[in-house]
């Protein structure tokens, strides 16, 4: 998680989130290039939580300067990054990956093109990860439903 110093409430949320993790967990926090972190995980049977895909996509989208609402470069970047992440996870078959994400396409269509681009790109990322996953669960209002 990347802290924004001027956002005191956000910094506190991150601190609480980190504090809830079990002490024995090894945590790698990277805002981008998550596939490289996966590639560098130690060899051997393990579990890895990627938390969260929606923040990763947001970081990728916001890392581009947009000219007149053109998100084509951001789209290429997100597609490439998510494909690399999926490939890295598949290549590490000895590790069981748990990917946390959000569903943002169920609400009202956003009025601005940045929010629409984000919604669409996260939808792509979610679909790509779900296709590659052996199982997929939807968690809503404290209940889990197996989708795949």
Burial of 52 (0-12, 13-18, 19+ CB in 10 A): middle
- pLDDT tier for residue 144 given thresholds of 50, 70 and 90: very high
The pLDDT of 95-122, averaged and rounded, is 92
Say how many domains are in the chain.
2
Residues 60 and 116 in one domain: yes
* CA-based end-to-end distance of the chain: 29
Residues 82 and 103 in one domain: yes
Residues 43 and 4 in one domain: no
The model's pTM: 0.85
User: What are 40-83's pLDDT values in tens digits?
Assistant: 999 999 889 998 999 999 999 888 766 566 788 888 889 999 99
Q: Catalytic pick from 7, 11, 13, 17?
A: 17
Return the residue matching tokens 């981008």: 32
Active site residue 17: yes
User: What are 3-44's pLDDT values in tens digits?
Assistant: 566 788 888 888 898 888 888 777 778 889 999 999 999 999
DSSP secondary structure of 3-68: --TT-HHHHHHHHHHHHTS-TT------SS-HHHHHHTSPSSSEEEEEE-HHHHHHHHHHTS--ST
- Determine the structural domain holding residue 131 and report its residue range: 31-146
Residues 19 and 44 in one domain: no
């Amino acid at each position: 998680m990347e802290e924004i110093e001027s956002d005191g409430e956000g910094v506190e949320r991150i601190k609480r989130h980190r504090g809830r993790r079990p002490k024995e967990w090894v945590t790698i926090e990277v805002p981008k290039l998550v596939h490289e972190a996966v590639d560098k995980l130690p060899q051997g049977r393990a579990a890895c939580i990627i938390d969260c895909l929606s923040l990763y996509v947001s970081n990728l989208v916001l890392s581009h300067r947009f000219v007149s609402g053109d998100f084509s470069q951001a789209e290429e970047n997100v597609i490439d990054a998510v494909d690399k992440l999926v490939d890295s996870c598949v290549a590490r078959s000895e590790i069981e990956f748990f990917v946390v994400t959000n569903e943002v396409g169920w609400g009202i269509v956003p009025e601005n093109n940045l929010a629409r681009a984000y919604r669409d790109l996260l939808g792509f990322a979610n679909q790509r990860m779900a296709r590659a996953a052996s199982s997929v669960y939807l968690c809503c209002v404290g209940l889990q439903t197996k989708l795949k």
